[in-house]
């Protein structure tokens, strides 16, 4: 066997190992289930960690957190406009603040209390035009938390702002853009 053959064999083994590791990693990312034991995967003989009970607990915990949090009015009362300006940096790629300057999304000039789907010259999805009403702080909070859940079928590809304080800061900032 010459050196070239050994190099090919070594390369093939390394490539196969790399493919195996990538498949293993992808499977772990896609199908990871928390064991409830601190993430070490060590099951104790006296404990049973059924995935169904984990999911029920997570849903119950999320519902408790949602009901325990402050209201949007309380959050807006303590909102920081400067922090809202920083949160707006996530929106800049698609939205402009200048009146009439639409980008990928409609302009956000005078957004708070404006009619939903009310920017002339912008082609809204049927999901938004069908909502009706105005962009109240509460409506903006719901939309910014998860656009796809608030208006199923919306063209907005943003996944949402998870932190209620970030949403309140952003809404407070948008209230100043007039």
pLDDT, tens digit (0-9, with 9 covering 90-100), for 83-124: 989 999 889 888 988 888 888 889 899 999 999 988 888 888
Query: Taking the domains of the chain in order of start, what are their residue ranges?
Result: 72-176
Residue 19 pLDDT > 90: yes
What is each CA distance from 22 to 10, 15, 32, 122, in whole angstroms?
18, 11, 15, 44
pLDDT tier for residue 12 given thresholds of 50, 70 and 90: very high
- Single out the residue of 77, 71, 79 nearest to residue 169, CA to CA: 79
- Residue 115, strand partner residues: 134
Residue 35 pLDDT > 70: no
Pairwise CA distance, residues 88 & 2, whole Å: 62
pTM tops 0.75:
no
Cα atoms in the Cβ-side hemisphere of radius 13 Å centred on 83: 11
What was the pLDDT predicted at 178? 87
**Domain at 72-176: CATH code:** 1.10.760.10
């Amino acid at each position: 066997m010459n050196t070239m053959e050994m190099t090919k064999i070594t390369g093939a083994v390394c490539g196969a190992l790399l493919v195996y590791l990538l498949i293993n990693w992808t499977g772990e990312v896609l199908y990871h289930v928390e064991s409830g034991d601190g993430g070490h995967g060590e099951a104790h003989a006296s404990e049973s960690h059924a995935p169904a009970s984990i999911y029920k607990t997570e849903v119950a915990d999320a519902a408790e957190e949602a009901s325990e949090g402050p209201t949007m009015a309380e959050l807006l009362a303590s909102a920081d406009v400067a922090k809202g300006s920083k949160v707006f940096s996530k929106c800049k790629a698609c939205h402009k603040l200048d009146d009439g300057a639409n980008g990928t999304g409609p302009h956000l000039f005078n957004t708070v209390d404006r009619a939903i789907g009310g920017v002339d010259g912008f082609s809204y999805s049927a999901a938004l035009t069908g909502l009706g009403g105005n962009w109240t702080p509460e409506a903006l909070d719901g939309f910014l938390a998860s656009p796809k859940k608030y208006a199923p079928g919306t063209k907005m590809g943003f996944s949402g702002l998870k932190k209620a304080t970030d949403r309140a800061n952003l809404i407070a900032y948008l209230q100043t853009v007039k």
